Structure 1
């Protein structure tokens, strides 16, 4: 989450410089996202059950990797996809990717991302006590910001999704020390599993076993970026 506060004198100038740097960072990430996905094709077989999950800690987005780190992270994620025989259904990198990937898992289409975001934000608003301690900013400001199209989802919204939809959210990640994360719904048994890949702090996609993807999916046009 990037938040600049305007003030007088040097502070205003400093904020302008930071905002410009943020724009440049977003452009660089978009370029990497486009170039790296052009390299992705088929994977080898494997089983999801062989993955050992680590505990999940909800948190907001605070760090965006530089281009070099992002590229290395993506190569690590591709290797893990191959090892476990998993297939990504790629969604647009327009700031709504987490919600698009969740939509694809639930409705077999990323196009219902606005509805998914609306339901998650409602969960954040209605169950404030479950999430507020994980948000180091004004909580009302946080969930109102998260309601906007294009606002990146975070690990707090993933927990809210698990709770709202009664689902175990499973993440195959590009983190160096954390290959697999499970997010369990609080106070209830999961009724379904939602599988996502997570190119750490950059992008989410919808995830399937290669066998299931071949049965369920027809070829799709590539449209990761608008």
Structure 2
């Protein structure tokens, strides 16, 4: 397990490797600490200043990463969920699914307590419950678990003071020979994660075990889906408009029929009145002659 610069947890060598998970995932042997310092999270810092230093370097970092590796930085929300947001963006293409990534991660760590437990200097169950909470920062232990869950290497990019980008691989992947693209994250000012995108090699969906899903086709499939939905909406809109026009036409026809009927009744009434008046005048004329 590779430790990010600045992490407070210290590991000391031990001849016994960590317990191998029962479901067969192979881990790079990690050492058991004899003087473990609690895995501390950035919980008490000034959240208003979480990105202050990162903001000063992000332009140079983004430019250097694009120039050297043709990778792009995708900013994540700075609300304490940034690690899980970044992973959700890498896996699902949607950072708002961070709660699902967090839940799956912590459930996995709970199941693998024999492996992760020795690296936590507090009651392990309390640690799991705390990390399940929204806005609770994640750290390198969660990154290790995430790599194992999705069977993908995890690479962290961070800015160095000598105008360079440092690349750290935290998890190598579990199955040799499988071309699983890495989960790429950037680490800023020791308290914020962003998602790193390779525009030439989309990797959304890798590690989900979805049959028939090809990451390179995700964007195309999504565009086709959007186009189909747009066409369906257009057809539905046109049908509704046609129905409305027909309804309005029927209402207009009914109004015209009523007007015609009313006019006809009025004309008939006037005709009857004229005929009655003529008949009355004839009767008067005949009576005078007699």
Which of 158, 183, 186 aligns to 2:170? It is 183
Contact kept, 8 Å, 1:89 with 1:207, in 2: the verdict is yes
Q: CA RMSD in A?
A: 3.2
Q: Does 1:203 align with 2:192?
A: yes
Give the deviation of 1:180 after TM superposition: 1.2
- 1:43-86: CA deviation from partner (whole Å, max 9, x where unpaired): xxxxxxxxxxxxxxxxxxxxxxxxxxxx56x5664464243332
Higher mean displacement: 74-83 or 119-128: 74-83
Instruction: Give ranges in structure 1 of 5+ residues lacking alignment.
Output: 2-20, 37-70, 218-226
Instruction: Give ranges in structure 2 of 5+ residues lacking alignment.
Output: 1-6, 8-42, 203-215, 221-290
Contact kept, 8 Å, 1:163 with 1:185, in 2: the verdict is no
Query: How does 1:209-224 map onto structure 2 within 5 Å?
Result: 209-211=198-200
Higher mean displacement: 175-184 or 123-132: 175-184
Structure 2 counterpart of 1:103: 88
Q: 1:84 to 1:151 in 2, by over 3 A?
A: same
1:167 aligns to what SS in structure 2? coil
Q: Does 1:22 align with 2:44?
A: yes
The structure having more radius of gyration, on CA atoms, is: 2
Give the deviation of 1:138 after TM superposition: 2.0
2:48 aligns to what SS in structure 1? helix
Q: Which has the higher contact order (CA 8 A, sep 6+)?
A: 1
1:153 aligns to what SS in structure 2? coil
Contact kept, 8 Å, 1:166 with 1:192, in 2: the verdict is no
TM-score between the two structures when normalised by the length of structure 1: 0.60
1:102 aligns to what SS in structure 2? helix
Higher mean displacement: 102-111 or 169-178: 169-178
Structure 2 counterpart of 1:132: 117
Structure 2 counterpart of 1:85: 70
Q: 1:146 to 1:204 in 2, by over 3 A?
A: same
Structure 2 counterpart of 1:57: none
2:115 aligns to what SS in structure 1? helix
| Aligned residues between the structures | 160
Alpha-carbon distance between aligned partners in 2 of 1:157 and 1:175, rounded to the nearest angstrom = 24
Contact kept, 8 Å, 2:62 with 2:72, in 1: the verdict is no
Q: 1:175 to 1:132 in 2, by over 3 A?
A: farther
